[in-house]
Amino acid sequence: MTPVHDRTAWLQGGKAVCLQPPTRVDRIWRLVLLGPPGSGKGTQAELLAHSLGACALSTGDVFRAARGHPAPPGSAMAVAQEQMARGELVTDNSVLALIRERGRCLRCSGGFMLDGFPRTLAQAEAIDALLVAENLQLDAVVSYELPTPEIIARLSGRRTCPACKSVFHVETCPPKREAVCDRCGGALVQREDDRPEAIQVRLEAYQSATVPLAAHYQKKGLLFPISAAGLPAEILARTLDALAIRVLGL
Ligand code: AMP
């Protein structure tokens, strides 16, 4: 049976609860997905969620979901949204406050796949401490790799549906009707942070803040580098093979 993934508690935080708790899974997976913007890790997170039964938890989705509720000027969320629109990283303090508010999702009996978190060493150390305190362990850190020119081509042509989150690409995966979502008929948009000036800032942030995480997880023996070239189904197959071989020893 395909597991049901309700992320209400993740997206809303606080006292929000999932409407449908996780279905029973054979194995509980706790993964971190690393990769530059445009490497397709969000798509892989969704595909892995269906294959492995754990929820895909994206910090970027939380910031985007909060957009619908205007934050008071100067508040942490308002500042975070301005940083995000420019392609900058949101401060560690804001991100960690958001994660702590959602601690239950990390303790969830269905496991988790973290997409877009941690993104700095400080965040990685904070999640390490949080998991130790809960007596939980990561199974693997999957690191998606893609050459920069391909990243830029993917990001600049990406169009997303704000209503159902479907993702298209103007050249490689165009919608049937221009700028209209095939799945729900919503109007497709270009994410503010997919504009060329923001892409540049995001790539620089990835190089300086997130690339060092690979060494952090390599030392722990958790790092699985995976090529993010090709079709989503091919990348998924590569990821599942790596997990089966390296984690399950199959
Ligand atoms: P994403 O959807 O993961 O590409 O995230 C979109 C944007 O949200 C990023 O460019 C950052 O501005 C912000 N963001 C998401 N997650 C984090 C994080 N863990 N640390 C800092 N900023 C983040």
For residue 158, is pLDDT > 90? yes
For ligand 1, the distance from its centroid to the CA atom of residue 117, given in whole angstroms, is: 8
Mean pLDDT of 66-79: 80
Q: Which of 7, 102, 154, 202 is catalytic?
A: 202
Catalytic residue among 7, 102, 154, 158: 158
Domain positions in the chain are: 8-146+210-246, 147-194
Active site residue 191: yes
Residue 189, beta-bridge partner list? 160
The pLDDT tens digits for 57-70 are: 999 999 888 877 77
Question: What architecture is the 8-146+210-246 domain classified under in CATH?
Answer: 3-Layer(aba) Sandwich (3.40)
Calculate the alpha carbon distances from 170 to 51, 77, 120, 166, 173 in Å.
Answer: 28, 31, 31, 13, 6
Interatomic CA distance for residues 182 and 24, integer angstroms: 32
User: Rounded distance, CA 156 to CA 136, Å?
Assistant: 38
> Is 124's pLDDT higher than 90?
yes
Phi, psi of 26 (to 5 degrees): -70, -35
- The residue with greater pLDDT, 175 or 193, is 175
Q: pLDDT-based confidence at 4, cuts 50/70/90?
A: low
* Total length of the chain: 250
Q: What are phi and psi of 234, to 5 degrees?
A: -70, -40
Residue 4 is which amino acid? Answer: V
Which pTM value belongs to this model? 0.89
For residue 83, the ligand 1 atom closest to its alpha carbon is: 12
Per-residue pLDDT, 1: 45
